[in-house]
Amino acid sequence: MSQTISPVIQAAELKHLLQTESIVFIDASNGPKAKANFLESHLAGARLVDLDTQLAEIPIDAAFGGRHPLPKIEVFGQLLGELGITPETHVVVYDDKNGSNAAARFWWMLRAVGHQKIQVLNGGLKEALKYELPMGNGEAEIVKTSAYPTTNWMLPLIEIEELARVSENDAYVVIDVRDAARYRGEVEPIDLVAGHIPGSINVPFTENLDAQGLFLPAEELRRKYHAILGDKKVENSIVHCGSGVTACHTLLAIAHAQLPLPRLYVGSWSEWSRNKL
């Protein structure tokens, strides 16, 4: 996969970069207290995005696209303009979960519209505070631009019907990044039923991180995913999770390892479990 900058940036590197370059920060923290927490403290100038209403188009029925289907691409392009992001903007996104949740989803979406200068802050908000990066509060003043030019999602995707045909084919590898207990069907805290897609293997996204919540070194991730993906064609490699969000964390780890990106199954278990059982 060709890219001009690393998809992951270290807090120390970012602190140095801020001395010479203008950065647009995106805070992708989510949850019931995300807005209040953002107003209280965030990276200086950051703009808050909401996973449920801006990084997804919540469906009436999760059986059609899962719990977090992608929004219409032109709607996302409009959002980027409202955030002041142009094709030339250097964007750094973070969240309060070590970059493992909506920050990775925003990274994937921005890369998927062709944007090159997009990075995820390694360790997220915790690392920003540790390295004393400039902080602010309240609403950011945003200089809006015209809608970001978009055509179609440029990163590889797969839909449920194709996945159903190939998931148990030995020429394919389907990676389920959910926690092992959910994969084994022992618990299911969110979706209607427990279990996993037939033929899928479990590689929890949390295993991309070390004990401090930072990405493993790129070389280690490269060895790890090279062993998992083996000699499979990249188009035969598929990643999914519960609703297409944390799967993006594993895709980010694979990009960090400088390996070609597998296909994302956005509907993930939330869609599959409502159709194929």
DSSP string, 94-140: E-SSTT-SHHHHHHHHHHHTT--SEEEETTHHHHHHHTT--EE-SPP
Does residue 1 register a pLDDT over 70?
no
What separation in angstroms does the CA of 103 have from each of 119, 163, 217? 9, 26, 19
Determine which helix (DSSP H) or strand (DSSP E) holds 237, and give its type and residue range. Answer: strand 237-240
Average pLDDT value over all residues in the chain: 95
Provide the whole-model pTM. 0.96
* Residue with token string 């609703």: 243
Instruction: Name which of 235, 265, 232 is nearest 248 in CA terms.
Output: 265
More confident residue, 2 or 49: 49
Task: Give the integer Cα–Cα distance in Å for 178 and 194.
Answer: 12
pLDDT level of residue 277 (50, 70, 90 thresholds): low
Instruction: Name which of 266, 262, 263 is nearest 246 in CA terms.
Output: 266
Determine the topology of domain 160-272 in CATH: Oxidized Rhodanese; domain 1 (3.40.250)
* Residues tagged active-site: 241
Section 172-193 average pLDDT: 96
Does residue 35 register a pLDDT over 50?
yes
Residues of the chain with CATH 3.40.250.10: 8-136, 160-272
146 with 119: CB under 8 angstroms?
no
CATH superfamily, region 8-136 = Rhodanese-like domain (3.40.250.10)
